A and B are shown apart, each in its own frame.
Chain A
Amino acid sequence: GAVVSQHPSRVICKSGTSVKIECRSLDFQATTMFWYRQFPKQSLMLMATSNEGSKATYEQGVEKDKFLINHASLTLSTLTVTSAHPEDSSFYICSVPPASLGGYTFGSGTRLTVV
């Protein structure tokens, strides 16, 4: 099945700095990837759709200037949390849709802590 690699798995950063999270599809090409966020003890909420070669589309309420998404190649999408604040501390996880009906594959997630 599809394999998605996400890193870093954990990152701690200072308030005001930026953090980049990478999501790679290892054995297939993904023109689309999805980014989700999970706050502690809550469910996953879709943040944005990353589209290879074009602009990402963001869900309502997600600040596009704060969460920069770049899908520069068919195997790599990056999420950059800019000017991070403690309220951005969360679990960020990417996924790719299946080529056909089936389960969506998720990366292992990144736990971001902003101090």
Chain B
Amino acid sequence: SQTIHQWPATLVQPVGSPLSLECTVEGTSNPNLYWYRQAAGRGLQLLFYSVGIGQISSEVPQNLSASRPQDRQFILSSKKLLLSDSGFYLCAWSGSRGVGDEAFFGQGTRLTVV
């Protein structure tokens, strides 16, 4: 069966420090991968979307970047964190067959920038 791992679960980082959040998927190949951010009262905002290795779509201009160095690995990064980067970050994957595959979510990372 497929599983998705996301870590760390919580993170407290000072303003200006770098960030690296990692997400890996097991049990499937060539998944679509997503990074979402959930801020209080703002729902689930799509940050990055990838349909293959090295193929990243950025949905909103921001202080973050994403990379997909391997088929089932998706990394969210920042060189210098801002206070506004605080939030709940969720990684997800879906199938790439285009036949109604839903997104499966990791447990999320609570990031607090201080």
Q: Do A and B bind each other?
A: no
A positions within 8 Å CB-CB of B: none
B positions within 8 Å CB-CB of A: none
